[in-house]
Structure 1
């Protein structure tokens, strides 16, 4: 069990709901490092005493923080601070950079490789070109909240992005660069997710043991003229989640 600072009463005179104040107070202790990743936070009754609120208020706050990926509950054990996990909910057609910023995650990128390569059978079929035709490969380590999240290998049709490697690529959104430089605006993308083991080379870059579970993601992105990008990614299974709400 983690140590805690003295109790702090929330301000009932503020228009902000008590559950939101409680949520913010708990988040503050996590972000300050008082309750570090993987540590167990105090039980509900102790949180009630610390924050000066009812059990219902505490449960509301904990439920929200769990939905945001900050906490995890283990039946019979208690509630624990999660490692820095990116939880993606309902998603639109956005780049990784835009998606992470929308989730409040500080995003970074490290270009591992830029090369002209022949299209494999898989890449050629996705981009609707001949096998062996030249494509541009951009391999990047994607970072969220200063920790590795995944590795993305973007294959771009060379005929759609002439001169791409003649200039320095910014660390931000590739889609934004493609729009400004080549007038390419994505209109649709198809993604396939499956679970697989992280290979040795990628495991070293992601900071996980070889064979750790991860998301293997394939994405084909098209604009008004057709497919221009095929991206294959390996995302850390302990740092990236997708959460969906299903309704009738």
Structure 2
């Protein structure tokens, strides 16, 4: 706790609520990552009764900030892990919401541009205009992914009027153009983020990430090329298998041209 940071005993907010807010700020600052203090230590530090401490901790547990088994010391809850199935057309937006977290995005860029390499992947002429969307994807208040997507402007130009701060790309694409993706191919690799990427994703220098390159299509026509960098400490890929259908993944080399790889997951 910062020296001189004390509870306001004459303020309108009850002491337990002030204590809860101060503990929340300290948790957000990473102060209790190794060990959370006990009730007695907190009561002595803040000069309040243990009942006041218990009420503050009760609210932090109810909010999912702290976890504790009966008779054990509370600890800071780990970040919620986002899970996405392999082998299904799926939305990252939906996966975040399903985990009980609000999905938000910081839109870095939304414009029309040309890119000959991407156009070739979308089976277009090199100078064809492309709608480009770049976002920092958030799960709750924490960065989850850096997401860049290109679509043919001939079909996706209505997306330029969309607000992507809290909506999925595929929902907006269908609502504004009537186009629905029905097939996706992905290449997923484990990578070490660059210094700049770690700074944006707010992950430590030991964390790995998933690099996901995707070619999405509708009725056999390529309409989306996407590259997403997802924090490996907050994201998991899941798969199902059975004795009858089996479980099979096709490996791929270092090329980023996905034509010919196995259909996999997609995210909106």
**TM bucket, shorter chain:** 0.5 to 0.7
CA distance in 1, matches of 2:189, 2:177: 32
User: Quick check: 1:192–1:218 contact (8 Å CA) kept in 2?
Assistant: yes
Determine if the alignment matches structure 1 residue 221 to structure 2 residue 216: yes
Task: Give the superposition deviation at 1:206.
Answer: 0.8
Task: Give the superposition deviation at 1:170.
Answer: 3.8
TM-score (norm 2): 0.60
Deviations 1:186-207 (A, max 9, x none): 1111111001121233222111
User: Quick check: 2:113–2:129 contact (8 Å CA) kept in 1?
Assistant: yes
CA distance in 1, matches of 2:64, 2:93: 25
Determine if the alignment matches structure 1 residue 108 to structure 2 residue 101: no
Matched residue, 1:33: 65
Deviations 1:153-192 (A, max 9, x none): 0101111123432x24343011111111111111111111
Structure number with greater CO (CA < 8 Å, separation at least 6) is: 2
Determine if the alignment matches structure 1 residue 169 to structure 2 residue 201: no
Matched residue, 1:63: none
CA RMSD for the aligned pairs?
2.9
Give 5+ residue unaligned stretches, structure 2.
1-34, 40-59, 244-268
CA distance in 1, matches of 2:78, 2:154: 44
CA distance in 2, matches of 1:210, 1:157: 36
TM-score (norm 1): 0.64
Task: Indicate the SS of the match to 1:246.
Answer: coil
CA distance in 1, matches of 2:242, 2:37: 41
CA distance in 2, matches of 1:89, 1:151: 19
User: Quick check: 1:84–1:145 contact (8 Å CA) kept in 2?
Assistant: no
- Higher Rg: 2
User: Quick check: 1:93–1:187 contact (8 Å CA) kept in 2?
Assistant: yes
Which structure has the highest strand share of the two?
1
Q: 1:140 aligns with which of 130, 135, 140?
A: 135
Give 5+ residue unaligned stretches, structure 1.
6-27, 36-40, 51-78
Deviations 1:91-118 (A, max 9, x none): 6323321232233332111111123222
Q: Number of matched residues? A: 186
